[in-house]
Structure 1
Amino acid sequence: MNYRPKHAGSGPASNSLRILEIVARFGTGTTAKEITDALRMPPATAYRLLNALVGDEYLVRTSDLRGFALGHAISGLVMAATPPTVPTAARTVIEGFRQGNRFGVHLFMFTNASLRIADEDPDYPLHSVFEMLRYPQTSAAGKLMLAELGDPAFPLPDRQLLKLTEHAITESGKLEEQLREIRLTGHASAINELGSGSASLALPVRLPNGSAGGALCLTGPAERFTTICGHADAARELTSRLSPLLF
């Protein structure tokens, strides 16, 4: 069977992606001959790319050495493209907390040192999402994740600490100081840092080993931050209920 994805190129990167797609479609044990036949690819080209993909752990050889399977490096790509899974029971608990509150309640997960949106409040959508995910120091949830990563993750290069607003942290030393405080207090906040007039408070959702695997984040206008903080104890209780449902 011949197979050629739409708009497929012929360069090394395109050919490598086509090989990965064939292995994903055909399944564990896909042979080099099946790949070359499906893609009408010269064997020499296929073998060179297969060896490179195995070396980078995007593919692995099967135990009998006759075929190939997707490697663990693919999982990172899949995770990045797929929203975190949140059980129905956890969503129900979060939705119950949202009722009656006039601020956003969002769930984030920390995956491979990246901030992932797991459950966004439909009534109070997140703003400046690209900036939040790209520059985690601008939001409470992102700061909580950075604090959990610990000192080895820093100092961040100052060029990555963009001045999104006049209140944004632009020096790695000041950020490190704030992260140390977050580790002591067990919560993080950001006021007018991601965008003027915005505020957020984040509390950790902990893994069984006690480390933070995610964050419950309360968001709203900066002028209502004191009111938001008044719900911190209830939010912390909610994180205790969420932990066994998520982890």
Structure 2
Amino acid sequence: MNYYRPTSKPSTASNPLKILEIVAQYGTGTTAKEITDALQMPQATAYRVLNSLVADEYLARTSDLRGFALGHAISGLITAANPPTVPTAARSLIEEFRRGNRFAVHLVMFRNASLRIADEDRDYPLHSAFEMLRYPHASAAGKLMLAELGDSASLVPRGPLTKLTQHTITNSGQLEAQLAEIRVKGEASEINELEQGSASLALPVRLPDGPVGAALCLSGPSDRFTTIYEHAEAAREMTTRLAPLLF
């Protein structure tokens, strides 16, 4: 076994990650002593962090209570770190749809109440990808995800929302009203809210009677949104064909 050899003592902020790394490397049954020895960490600090990780289910105690193993909450971190898998048949279908219009077509998937870019249009790449992922209240795909969640308020900060452009919704009450409308219409849109000069329409991808797991987004210049919206019905039909290939 290649044992962990720290180059320096871990900082307080990195302690949980370092402990998880040790348990992942040593395997099920890793003891507190092995962790403190490997990290040169005070015993009291190690036990405090271990108890916290167990409470949050990132670690689990072994049946004999002598050691630790990775907990099921780790799967969420792994899922977040890995890009979404899009089957070849689904990618081919999206490419076929792209050839039929003059605007960007992106597939954005929902994972653990966050957005993941699953298939980006290579001809029209996203200019504000980071902002879309970080501020769901400002994007069409983000609003669609928030509208589908049972408790969207828990994901929206209290107080003023981050303003990306002069058109970004910054009032949580106004956002909630828009989310209610999205639930009724079954689609979400934004014009100049994520990026000045751009617009997007997001349509849900779901199996019949199932939750929305992704959004098919049509994007382009904001002054062409009316033309973009003319493709809405064709895009909606595409989501019906796409859903069984994705889920």
Alignment check: 8 A CA contact 1:12 1:49 kept: no
Residue of structure 1 in register with 2:91 after alignment: 91
Shift of 1:124: 0.8
Q: Does 1:3 align with 2:11?
A: no
Identity of aligned residues (%): 73
Q: Is the 8 A contact 2:165 2:196 kept in 1?
A: yes
**After alignment, is 168-177 or 184-193 more displaced?**
168-177
SS, match of residue 72 in structure 1: coil
1:24 alignment counterpart: 24
State the shift of 1:156 in Å. Answer: 5.3
- The number of residue pairs the alignment matches comes to 245
Distance 1:176 1:61, change over 3 A: same
Contact 1:110 1:145 (8 Å CA) reproduced: yes
Superposition TM-score, scaled by structure 1 size:
0.86
Aligned to 2:203: 203
Q: Secondary structure at the match of 2:84?
A: coil
The one-letter code matched in structure 2 to 1:146 is L
Q: Does residue 242 of structure 1 match 2:239?
A: no
Distance 1:151 1:77 in 2: 21
Matches of 1:151 and 1:119, distance apart in 2? 27
* Residue 117 (structure 2) aligns with: 117
Tell me the secondary structure at the aligned position of residue 117 of structure 2: strand
Normalising by structure 2, we get a TM-score of 0.86
Secondary structure of the structure 1 residue equivalent to 2:214:
strand
**1:12 corresponding residue in structure 2:** 12
Tell me if the contact between 1:29 and 1:69 (Cα under 8 Å) persists in the aligned partners.
Answer: yes
Looking at structure 1, the residues matched to 216 and 6 of structure 2 have their Cα atoms a distance apart, in angstroms, of 41
What's the Cα RMSD here? 2.5
Q: Work out whether residues 9 and 39 of structure 2, in 8 Å CA contact, stay in contact via their aligned partners in 1.
A: no
The answer (yes or no) to whether the contact 1:5–1:18 under 8 Å persists in 2 is: no
Instruction: Give the 3-state SS of the residue equivalent to 2:13 in structure 1.
Output: helix
CA distance in 2 between counterparts of 1:136 and 1:24 reads 33
- Which is worse superposed, 71-80 or 125-134? 71-80
1:53 deviates by 2.1
Per-residue deviation, 1:103 = 1.2
Q: Any conservation in 2 of the 1:136–1:143 contact (CA below 8 Å)? A: yes
Q: Which residue of 1 aligns with 2:64?
A: 64
Instruction: Give the secondary structure class of the aligned counterpart of 2:51.
Output: helix
Return the offset for 1:189.
1.0
| Consecutive unaligned residues in structure 2, runs of 5 or more | none
Moved more, 12-21 or 53-62: 12-21
1:124 match: secondary structure: coil
Instruction: State the Cα distance separating 1:48 from its structure 2 match.
Output: 4.0
Residue of structure 1 equivalent to 2:217: 217
1:85 and 1:63 mapped to 2: Cα distance?
Answer: 35
Q: Is the 8 A contact 1:2 1:37 kept in 2?
A: no
How far apart are residue 9 of structure 1 and its match? 3.7
